[in-house]
Amino acid sequence: MAIISSKQPDPQQPDDEPQKPKQKPKQKPEPQTTPSQKNQLLETAARPDEVSRNEDGIRPQSLDDYIGQKALKEVLQIAIQAAQSRNEPLDHLLLYGPPGLGKTTMALILAQEMKVDCKITTAPALERPRDIAGLLVNAKAGDILFIDEIHRLSRVTEEILYPAMEDARLDITIGKGQSARTRSIPLQPFTLVGATTKVGALTSPLRDRFGLIQRLRFYELDELTSIILRTATVLKTEIKEPGAMEIARRARGTPRIANRLLKRVRDYVQVKASGPITEQIAGEALELFNVDPCGLDWTDRRLLSVMIENFNGGPVGLDTMAAATGEDAQTIEEVYEPYLLQIGYLQRTPRGRIATPAAWRHLGYEMPEKPTLVTLSSINDDNDQLSLM
Ligand X SMILES: Nc1ncnc2c1ncn2[C@@H]1O[C@H](COP(=O)(O)OP(=O)(O)O)[C@@H](O)[C@H]1O
Task: Kindly list the residues in this chain that would bind ligand X in the complex (CB under 6 A).
Answer: 46, 55, 58-60, 66-69, 99-105, 195, 227, 255-256, 259
Nearer to ligand X, 60 or 194 (CB): 60
How many other C-beta atoms are found inside a 10 Å radius of the C-beta of residue 182?
10
Contact of 342 with 333, CB cutoff 8 Å: no
CB of 256 to ligand X, least distance (A): 4
378 binds, among ligand X, Mg ion, none (CB under 5 to 8 A by kind): none
How many other C-beta atoms are found inside a 10 Å radius of the C-beta of residue 319?
17
Q: Which one of 97-105, 129-137, 172-180, 292-300 is the stretch in contact with Mg ion (CB under 5 A)?
A: 97-105
Q: Which amino acid is at 222?
A: D
Question: Kind and range of the H or E element at 193?
Answer: strand 191-196
Q: Which one of 31-39, 102-110, 159-167, 315-323 is the stretch in contact with Mg ion (CB under 5 A)?
A: 102-110
Q: How far apart are CA 18 and CA 299, in angstroms?
A: 15
How many other C-beta atoms are found inside a 10 Å radius of the C-beta of residue 235?
15
Q: Is 196 in the site for Mg ion (CB under 5 A)?
A: no
CB of 267 to ligand X, least distance (A): 17
Q: Where are the alpha helices (DSSP H) in 118-209?
A: 129-138, 155-167, 204-208
Q: Is 105 in the site for Mg ion (CB under 5 A)?
A: no
Nearer to Mg ion, 59 or 353 (CB): 59
Q: Which one of 81-89, 98-106, 227-235, 311-319 is the stretch in contact with Mg ion (CB under 5 A)?
A: 98-106
255 binds, among ligand X, Mg ion, none (CB under 5 to 8 A by kind): ligand X
CB of 253 to ligand X, least distance (A): 11
Q: How far apart are CA 144 and CA 114, in angstroms?
A: 9
Q: Which one of 104-112, 168-176, 305-313, 338-346 is the stretch in contact with Mg ion (CB under 5 A)?
A: 104-112
Pairing of strands 191-196, 144-148: parallel
Contacts of 66 (CB under 8 A, 6+ apart): 60, 73, 102, 105, 106, 109
Q: How far apart are CA 12 and CA 252, in angstroms?
A: 36
Contact of 290 with 39, CB cutoff 8 Å: yes
Position with the least CB separation from ligand X = 102
Distance of CA 38 to the CA centre of its chain: 19
Pairing of strands 181-186, 169-174: antiparallel
CB of 107 to Mg ion, least distance (A): 8
Nearer to Mg ion, 118 or 304 (CB): 118
Nearer to ligand X, 130 or 263 (CB): 263
CB of 207 to ligand X, least distance (A): 18
Rg of the chain in Å (alpha carbons): 24
Q: Which residue from 6, 33, 69, 104 is in contact with Mg ion, where contact means CB under 5 A?
A: 104
CB of 21 to ligand X, least distance (A): 27
58 binds, among ligand X, Mg ion, none (CB under 5 to 8 A by kind): ligand X
How many other C-beta atoms are found inside a 10 Å radius of the C-beta of residue 215?
14
Nearer to ligand X, 45 or 180 (CB): 45
Tell me which residues are annotated as active site. 103-104, 148, 197, 256
Point out which residues bind Mg ion (CB under 5 A): 104
